[in-house]
C-alpha cells in the first residue's frame, strides 16, 4: 500500500511539473518525491522607517511545503550595510539607506550547496529605509498651508486615518500631516507644513505603512504661502497597481 501511495504521489508530482527538478525528501515523516517549482517573497519592494521590523512570508508552489518549510538562505546585496540587519527571515531597519535582500530556497532536508545551481529557487526584494522624526510644531515660526483632495484609484479618500498618512518632510523631519476637514458639506484635506526658515526644500509623500509602500509626490519649496482653495484644491493622486503618484502645486 505504501509503495502504491509513493507511486501515486510520484505521478502527481510529475504531472504538476514540467521542468522543475525532482528531489527525494521527507514530507510529514515519509520519504517522498517533491518538486519545488517556485518560491516568492511576500514583498518585492518595501519602504521602512528606522526601527521597523518585518517578517518575510513565502508563497510556495506546490503548497505541500507550507507544512514543512523549504531550506532557505538569506543574503544582502551589501554585506556591510548598516541600513538593515537580518535574523533568519526577520528584517530590522537600522539606518537610512537602500539594500536588496536575496532569497535562495530548496526543498526541506536538502542543502542549497548540494543541489544543481539551476535547481535553486530565487527571489529578491528592494528595501529602502528612511528616518522620519516627529517634531514639535510649536517650535517653528512659519506655516505653509495646502488645501487639497486625496484620490486613490480615482476615488476621493474621506477616511481620516488614510488622509493622515499624507505628510510633509523637511530635513528628515515630519513637518505636517494631512487632516480631513469639511466645509459646506464638502470634505477636503488640510496640510499645514511648519518650518523654521523660508526657501528650504521639502518632500510631500504618502506613507502606506500597512502595505510597506511609500509614494513620493513631489519636492517643494517652503514659501509660507497657501496653495489651493476649497473650490480649486490641489489634487494628490495615487494610482495603483502601477504605484504611480501624481502631485503638482500651481506656481
Tens of pLDDT, residues 90-117 = 899 998 899 999 999 887 778 888 888 8
Report the alpha-carbon distance of residue 187 to residue 81 in Å, rounded: 45
What is the pTM for the complete model shown?
0.60
Please give the average per-residue pLDDT across 223-246, as a whole number: 78
Domain count, the chain: 2
- Residues 3-34 have pLDDT tens digits of 323 332 333 333 333 334 545 554 445 544 45
Are residues 150 and 233 located together in one domain of the fold?
yes
Are residues 69 and 121 located together in one domain of the fold?
yes
- The residue among 46, 34, 26 whose CA lies nearest residue 124 is 46
Are residues 93 and 160 located together in one domain of the fold?
no
Task: Find out whether 229 and 147 touch, Cβ atoms under 8 Å.
Answer: yes
Task: Decide if pLDDT at 66 tops 90.
Answer: no
Query: Phi/psi class of residue 107: alpha, beta or left (left: φ > 0; alpha: ψ in -120 to 50)?
Result: beta
Are residues 66 and 111 located together in one domain of the fold?
yes
Task: Decide if pLDDT at 177 tops 60.
Answer: yes
Q: What is the extent of the structural domain holding 170?
A: 133-246
In a domain, 14, yes or no: no
- Among 115-124, 127-136, 239-248, the minimum mean pLDDT is found in 239-248
Are residues 122 and 106 located together in one domain of the fold?
yes
In a domain, 31, yes or no: no
In a domain, 159, yes or no: yes
Report the alpha-carbon distance of residue 239 to residue 154 in Å, rounded: 7
Report phi then psi at 117, rounded to 5. Answer: -55, -40
In a domain, 29, yes or no: no
Q: Which of 97, 130, 163 is at the close of a domain?
A: 130
Please give the average per-residue pLDDT across 210-235, as a whole number: 87
pLDDT for 117 equals 83
Are residues 139 and 179 located together in one domain of the fold?
yes
Average pLDDT, the chain: 78
Q: Which of 97, 112, 130 is at the close of a domain?
A: 130
Q: Tell which wins on pLDDT, 11 or 89.
A: 89
Task: Decide if pLDDT at 201 tops 80.
Answer: yes
pLDDT band at 168 (very low <50, low <70, confident <90, very high): very high
In a domain, 223, yes or no: yes
pLDDT band at 243 (very low <50, low <70, confident <90, very high): very low
In a domain, 173, yes or no: yes
pLDDT band at 36 (very low <50, low <70, confident <90, very high): low
pLDDT band at 82 (very low <50, low <70, confident <90, very high): very high
pLDDT for 221 equals 93
pLDDT for 5 equals 31
Amino acid at each position: 500500500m505504501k509503495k502504491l501511495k509513493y507511486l501515486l504521489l510520484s505521478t502527481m508530482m510529475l504531472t504538476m511539473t514540467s521542468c522543475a527538478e525532482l528531489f527525494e525528501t521527507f514530507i510529514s515523516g515519509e520519504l517522498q518525491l517533491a518538486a519545488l517549482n517556485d518560491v516568492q517573497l511576500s514583498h518585492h519592494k518595501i519602504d521602512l522607517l528606522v526601527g521597523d521590523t518585518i517578517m518575510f512570508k513565502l508563497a510556495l508552489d506546490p503548497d505541500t511545503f507550507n507544512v514543512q518549510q523549504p531550506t532557505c538562505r538569506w543574503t544582502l546585496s551589501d554585506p556591510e550595510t548598516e541600513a538593515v540587519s537580518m535574523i533568519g527571515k526577520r528584517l530590522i531597519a537600522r539606518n537610512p539607506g537602500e539594500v536588496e535582500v536575496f532569497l535562495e530556497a530548496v526543498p526541506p532536508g536538502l542543502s542549497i550547496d548540494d543541489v544543481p545551481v539551476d535547481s535553486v529557487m530565487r527571489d529578491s526584494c528592494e528595501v529602502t529605509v528612511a528616518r522620519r522624526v516627529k517634531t514639535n510644531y510649536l517650535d517653528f515660526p512659519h506655516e505653509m498651508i495646502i488645501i487639497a483632495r486625496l484620490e486613490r484609484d480615482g476615488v476621493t479618500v474621506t477616511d481620516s486615518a488614510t488622509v493622515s498618512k499624507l505628510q510633509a518632510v523637511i530635513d528628515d523631519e515630519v513637518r505636517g500631516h494631512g487632516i480631513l476637514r469639511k466645509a459646506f458639506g464638502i470634505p477636503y484635506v488640510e496640510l499645514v507644513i511648519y518650518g523654521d526658515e523660508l526657501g528650504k526644500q521639502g518632500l510631500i509623500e504618502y506613507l502606506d505603512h500597512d502595505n510597506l509602500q511609500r509614494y513620493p509626490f513631489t519636492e517643494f519649496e517652503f514659501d509660507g504661502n497657501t496653495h489651493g482653495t476649497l473650490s480649486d484644491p490641489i489634487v494628490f493622486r495615487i494610482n495603483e497597481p502601477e504605484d504611480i503618484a501624481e502631485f503638482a502645486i500651481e506656481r
